[in-house]
Amino acid sequence: MALLTSPITLFTAAKCFAKSRIGLTGSVRNLMSKQLVYGEFGDPLHVVKMREVEVPEVGNQEVLVRMLAAPVNPADINTIQGKYPVKVTLPCIPGNEGVGVVEKVGEEVSDISPGNKVIVTKPVQGTWRNIAVFDKTVLRLIPDNVGLVEAATLTVNPCTAYRMLSDFKPVKEKGLVVIQNGANSACGQNVIQICKAWGVKNVNVVRNRPDIDELKSYLKSLGATYVLTEEELRSTPIFKDKKLEKPSLAINCVGGKSSLEMLRHLQHSGCMVTYGGMSREPVTIPTSAFIFKNLAFYGFWMTVWNERASPDAKEAMMSELITMITENKLKAPVHKMVKFDNFQDAIGNALSSKGFQGCKYLLDFNN
17 binds its own copies (CB under 8 A): no
**Residue length of the chain:** 367
Nearer to its own copies, 155 or 258 (CB): 258
Residue 233 or 263: the one with the smaller Cβ distance to its own copies is 263
Q: Which of 34, 66, 293, 329 binds its own copies (CB under 8 A)?
A: 293
Q: Give yes or no for residue 88 binding its own copies (CB under 8 A).
A: no
Nearer residue to its own copies within complex by CB, 143 or 282: 282
Helix 311-326 to helix 186-198 angle (10° resolution) is: 80
Binding segment (CB under 8 A) for its own copies, from list 143-151, 178-186, 197-205, 282-290:
282-290
Q: Which of 7, 26, 85, 311 lies at the binding interface for its own copies (CB under 8 A)?
A: 85
What letter would DSSP give residue 177?
-
CA distances from 173 to 195, 248, 288, 296, 309 (A): 12, 13, 29, 20, 21
Counting contacts by CB under 8 A, is residue 18 touching its own copies? no
Q: Which is nearer to its own copies, 32 or 86 (CB)?
A: 86
Work out whether 67 is an interface residue with its own copies (CB under 8 A): no
256: region left, alpha or beta (phi > 0 left; psi from -120 to 50 alpha):
left
Q: Taking the complex as a whole, how short is the minimal distance between the CB of residue 295 and its own copies, in angstroms?
A: 7
Query: What is the smallest separation between the CB atom of 293 and its own copies, expressed in angstroms?
Result: 8
Q: Which is nearer to its own copies, 138 or 296 (CB)?
A: 296
Give least dist CB 291 to its own copies, A.
Answer: 5
Binding test (CB under 8 A) with its own copies, winner from 119, 289, 325, 362: 289
Contacts to its own copies from residues 249-268, by CB under 8 A: 255
Size of the site for its own copies (CB under 8 A): 27
> Smallest distance, Å, CB 277 to its own copies?
3
Cβ proximity to its own copies: between 276 and 333 the closer is: 276
Provide, rounded to whole angstroms, the least separation between the CB of residue 189 and its own copies. 20
Q: Parallel, antiparallel, or unpaired: how do β-strands 296-299 and 271-274 relate?
A: parallel
C-alpha–C-alpha distance, residues 337 and 186, integer Å: 15
Query: Could you say whether residue 82 binds its own copies (CB under 8 A)?
Result: no
Closest C-alpha among 358, 359, 303, 311 to residue 163 = 303
User: Least CB distance from residue 287 to its own copies, whole Å?
Assistant: 3
Question: How would you class 239 by CB atoms within 10 Å of its CB: exposed for 0-12, middle for 13-18, buried for 19 or more?
Answer: middle
What is the per-residue binding string for its own copies in 294-333, x denoting contact by CB under 8 A? xxxxxxxx--x-----------------------------
Among 14, 25, 291, 311, binds its own copies (CB under 8 A): 291
**Residue among 212, 164, 154, 163 at smallest CA distance from 186:** 154
- Catalytic residue IDs: 84
- DSSP assigned state of 104: E
Binding of its own copies by 239 (CB under 8 A): no
Whether omega before 333 lies within 30 degrees of 0, making that bond cis, reads no
* C-alpha–C-alpha distance, residues 218 and 234, integer Å: 22
Cis peptide, bond prior to residue 91, ω within 30 of zero: yes
Q: Is 115 in the site for its own copies (CB under 8 A)?
A: no
Q: Which of 292, 273, 46 is nearest to 178 (CA)?
A: 273
Q: Is 283 in the site for its own copies (CB under 8 A)?
A: yes
CB of 20 vs its own copies, minimal distance in Å: 43
User: Contact 192/199 with Cβ under 8 angstroms?
Assistant: no
SS3 26: coil
Are residues 1 and 49 in contact, defined by beta-carbon separation less than 8 angstroms?
Answer: yes
Q: How far apart are the C-alpha atoms of 365 and 339, rounded to whole Å?
A: 7
Q: Which residues bind its own copies (CB under 8 A)?
A: 85, 255, 274-277, 282-301, 304
